[in-house]
Amino acid sequence: MIRAEAHGRVNLMGEHTDYNLGLVLPTPIPQRTVVQLEPRADDTIRIRARGFGEVSYRLGAEKPAHDWSDYAKACTATLQSSGVGLRGFDAEVTSDVPVGAGVSSSAAFLVALLRAIRDAFALQFDDTTLALLAQRAEVEFVGARVGIMDQLAASRGHLGEALLIDTADLSVDRVELPLSIALVVIDSGVRHAHAGGGYNTRRAECEEAARALGLPSLRNVRDLDALERLPPLLARRVRHVVSENERVQEAAAALSGGDVGRLGQLFDASHASQRDDFDVSIPEVDALAAALRHAGALGARLTGGGFGGSVVAVAALGTEREVAKAARLAYERQSGRKASVILPPP
């Protein structure tokens, strides 16, 4: 029996920058997906995911069902289309990574399953290649045009450190989280769905802006005056991406230098940029970020793909439980929605 696992992640800075070849700063969360796998002699695949159901299919006959099982089929279809020889297997999946909360339950699932398959069939690829396979699986089979952040975070991250990833060359620098801070992550209870329109629309807008500026990607924007030539909506999209890349570098420096006050300011600035320039926030998420600040967090920002999902906040160590509780109660009173605290873990 093979056992493999992968953690969910929270992104600390750099939202919607990965598919623009920019910088991101995710860190794993303790919640994880565990896969137990037993190879079979034939080409049948049977997967039971606790809380989701069971699926069974033949290798090479992967058909989307538009549910959780697509992520499993995406793995086997992608491995086979990259020329990897596989056989069937039975697998059991358990996970405590919240789904639809913006903490990468899908990447945790894909990476854990790919790791288990890699071990079971002695496949020879490294963790970065594994992340790229997971991304291809999600883009080509599931149909969400996601960037590489989540898969790299799940594949290469360690608890207690953030990964400063340059998505232009996939280089990873490890940044230790200072001991003086604690992260608070609260799910707004409003669901996002990547395969749905918003995310892919933002991505298309960024590509259109890069084309209009005559650049290969928004990573190459140097001259902010050129934005005046763009329609106002595209100019706002570019302004978010450029300023967010700068904030990633500053946030990594603030983490290494233990400058928690600066980190909090950067969180707030990132939230404003996502809300005002990139239009990926929603009123509930704005209210949750405000509730976290009011409860004593040093800064709070929308994290993940947006259009709902979670807010991450930075708090002084020792205050995190009180901050999380007060913010959750205030938000629930105000919005009438049920929120869940993801960090600190229950």
Catalytic annotation, residues = 150
Q: State how far the Cα of 117 lies from the Cα of 89, in Å rounded to an integer.
A: 9
Which range binds ligand GLA by CB under 6 A, 9-17, 170-178, 213-221, 316-324? 9-17
> Token digits for 204?
């298309």
Q: State how far the Cα of 68 lies from the Cα of 49, in Å rounded to an integer.
A: 9
Q: How far is the CB of 316 from ligand GLA (least distance, A)?
A: 26
Please say whether the beta carbons of 127 and 155 come within 8 A: yes
List, in sequence order, every beta strand (DSSP E) within the chain. 2-11, 23-24, 26-39, 44-49, 53-58, 89-95, 161-166, 171-176, 181-187, 299-303, 310-316, 340-343
293 is a contact residue toward ligand GLA (CB under 6 A): no
19 is a contact residue toward ligand GLA (CB under 6 A): yes
Burial class of 249 by CB neighbour count within 10 A (0 to 12, 13 to 18, 19+) = middle
In the numeric block, the tokens 């009011």 are attached to: 294
Q: Give the three-state DSSP class for 286.
A: helix
109 is a contact residue toward ligand GLA (CB under 6 A): no
150 is a contact residue toward ligand GLA (CB under 6 A): yes
Which of 149, 297, 302, 323 is in the footprint of ligand GLA by CB under 6 A?
Answer: 149
239 is a contact residue toward ligand GLA (CB under 6 A): no
Which of 7, 16, 219, 247 is in the footprint of ligand GLA by CB under 6 A?
Answer: 16
98 is a contact residue toward ligand GLA (CB under 6 A): no
Which of 37, 146, 300, 314 is in the footprint of ligand GLA by CB under 6 A?
Answer: 146
Which of 6, 15, 71, 187 is in the footprint of ligand GLA by CB under 6 A?
Answer: 15
304 is a contact residue toward ligand GLA (CB under 6 A): yes
Closer to ligand GLA by Cβ: residue 149 or 330: 149
Q: How far is the CB of 19 from ligand GLA (least distance, A)?
A: 6
Name residues whose C-beta falls within 8 Å of residue 114's C-beta, 6 or more positions apart in sequence: 75, 79, 130, 133, 134
Q: How far is the CB of 107 from ligand GLA (least distance, A)?
A: 7
Q: How far is the CB of 157 from ligand GLA (least distance, A)?
A: 14
Residues that bind ligand GLA in the complex, under the rule CB under 6 A: 11, 15-16, 18-19, 146-147, 149-150, 304-305
